[in-house]
Amino acid sequence: MAFSLVSGVVLLLLALGHGPIEHFLKVREIDFPQFNRLSVNLFHAKRFFFYLTLFFLLLRVGYELKWKGWTKVVLVFFLITDLFGNMGFYGKEKSEDYFKKTEILENVTSTKEPFRTFATGKTIALDAPIILGKGAPFDLIKEKHIPSLNMIFKVHDIWGVDVVRLKKNDELYKKFISLPSISSSRFVDVYGIKYVISVTQLEEDPRFELIYAKLEGLEGEKEELLKKETIKLYKVKNPSQRAQIVKNFKVMDSKEILQSMVGKDFQVDNIVLLEEIPPSLTLPLEGLCRNSVHGSRTSPRTEYDMLKINELAVRPEALEGRMANYDTASEGGGKGGGEVKFLSETSNRLALQVQADEDSMLVLSDTHYPGWKVFVNGTEEKILRANYHFRAIPVPGGSSRVEFVYDPISMKLGAAITSLGVMGLLCGWVFQRRKRSKKSDGC
């Protein structure tokens, strides 16, 4: 009863003080994008305390009535209701409306090659208005193409959908969106974006081509409607590949990397920025000696330089506390020769076939997320943090099969705890049966 009372009081405070609490948290920026959306979090907090109050109350009722059959049924019923309890927050839509593709999704999903889409922050903001000619209220949400809806159709959206937000991921994105416009940096190339969904016109940038605008049911000239907050789909004319082979790399401090990437002169196709020297040092270093598993190369530098690069290769921690710029250079630029083919992809596994003309770096515009492992021709390798928060691995010349597997320790730990819990319940059940059996024999 005490727990039920405390939960009820907290629920009452959240309900009556919703406005002041929301204002208090927003002032302290406990909202999107630093956190999940505040309105959603507050709703789930109220829902949690509502069912918690009910749960403790039912425990007391069941105890008082010596757990009669109907009390157990009621308890289980409300536990199930907790999983699906809407409480008026989420809208209810027909299945065919929810899963029906918009014209933009029809265009986007017609492309089979791996790519990413980007709906601008102004476009997906829930409080930002957009102009539609006709349609139901839910169409307003669908036309914004928020990430959770894009996931249904397996569209790779750079926003992603996450509960635990990664600091570097947010820092990189906020750095880009703080710039004057999407055209003032190599933003779309860094993320491997092919389609941009925007309510703002992008015609002034020759990299973007308007391929669709939702103007049906609107009155006025097309040119004027395009200047307004109508939904528009742009295609990047020469998109950067999601996975590519690069020969050049530079080792820098993470802050320097972030600053270098926001400039328009950042050549994402020709160089990858790393925070540490690749373990095998299989790539050429500018004017420096390097030892390679495939042989060795030397160049006319001082003995000190040779010792220094060998020191960094053996002790990557020597980079800490200072910036180390070791640029690679080769005649003909840094874009690696070869190709990358996507073999298969699921939510926790990605298989690639890589054909490299020489020792190179495979760079993916996929998030450097804890728990991912990579295997090159069956041998596990280290995933390097590339371009501030993406992935890169050294690959040898020739043909290689590269497989990324999501295998976090948390999943194994959770499975172990669950297994122990199930075993404990079974042991408890067996113990109780034996105890009852002994009592029956005694009678």
CA–CA distance, 241 with 305 (Å, rounded to integer): 35
pLDDT (mean) for 75-83: 86
Confidence category of residue 341, pLDDT binned at 50, 70, 90: very high
pLDDT, tens only, 184-208: 888 889 999 999 999 988 877 888 9
CA–CA distance, 429 with 426 (Å, rounded to integer): 5
Q: What is the reported pTM?
A: 0.74
CA–CA distance, 13 with 16 (Å, rounded to integer): 5
Taking all residues of the chain, what is their mean pLDDT, rounded to a whole number?
82
pLDDT, tens only, 397-419: 999 999 999 998 888 888 899 99
Confidence category of residue 265, pLDDT binned at 50, 70, 90: confident
Q: Which of 70-84, 312-326, 415-429 has the lowest mean pLDDT?
A: 312-326
Q: What is the pLDDT of residue 349?
A: 94
Three-state DSSP class for residue 228: coil
Q: What is the pLDDT of residue 328?
A: 39
Three-state DSSP class for residue 397: coil
pLDDT (mean) for 347-368: 92
Find the helix or strand (DSSP H, E) in which 122 lies. Answer: helix 121-124
Q: What is the pLDDT of residue 307?
A: 40
pLDDT (mean) for 173-180: 82
Q: Which of 10-19, 24-33, 136-145, 330-339 has the lowest mean pLDDT?
A: 330-339
If one compares 358 and 311, the residue with the highest pLDDT of the two is 358
Q: Where in the chain are the domains? A: 2-84, 95-236, 242-337+356-396
Q: Of 204, 200, 199, 269, which Cα lies nearest the Cα of 239?
A: 269
275 and 252 Cβ atoms separated by less than 8 Å: yes
pLDDT of 127 strictly over 80: no
Q: 29's torsion region: left (phi>0), alpha (psi -120 to 50) or beta? A: left
pLDDT (mean) for 325-352: 69
Three-state DSSP class for residue 313: helix
Q: 332's torsion region: left (phi>0), alpha (psi -120 to 50) or beta? A: left
pLDDT of 361 strictly over 80: yes
* Cα dihedral 310→313→317→323 (10° resolution): 80
- Strands of the sheet with 232-236, listed across from one edge: 116-119, 193-198, 232-236, 208-213
pLDDT, tens only, 316-331: 444 333 333 334 333 3
254 and 320 Cβ atoms separated by less than 8 Å: no
Give backbone dihedrals phi and psi of 25, rounded to 5 degrees, phi first. -75, -35
Tokens of 374: 């990579």
Q: Of 166, 183, 195, 190, which Cα lies nearest the Cα of 242?
A: 190
Q: What is the pLDDT of residue 336?
A: 61
Q: From start to end of 175-289, where are the E strands?
A: 193-198, 208-213, 232-236, 243-246, 248-251, 271-274
Half-sphere exposure of 314 (CA within 13 A, CB side): 7
Confidence category of residue 121, pLDDT binned at 50, 70, 90: confident
Confidence category of residue 149, pLDDT binned at 50, 70, 90: confident
Q: From start to end of 38-169, where are the E strands?
A: 116-119
Cis amide linkage into residue 284, ω under 30° from 0: no
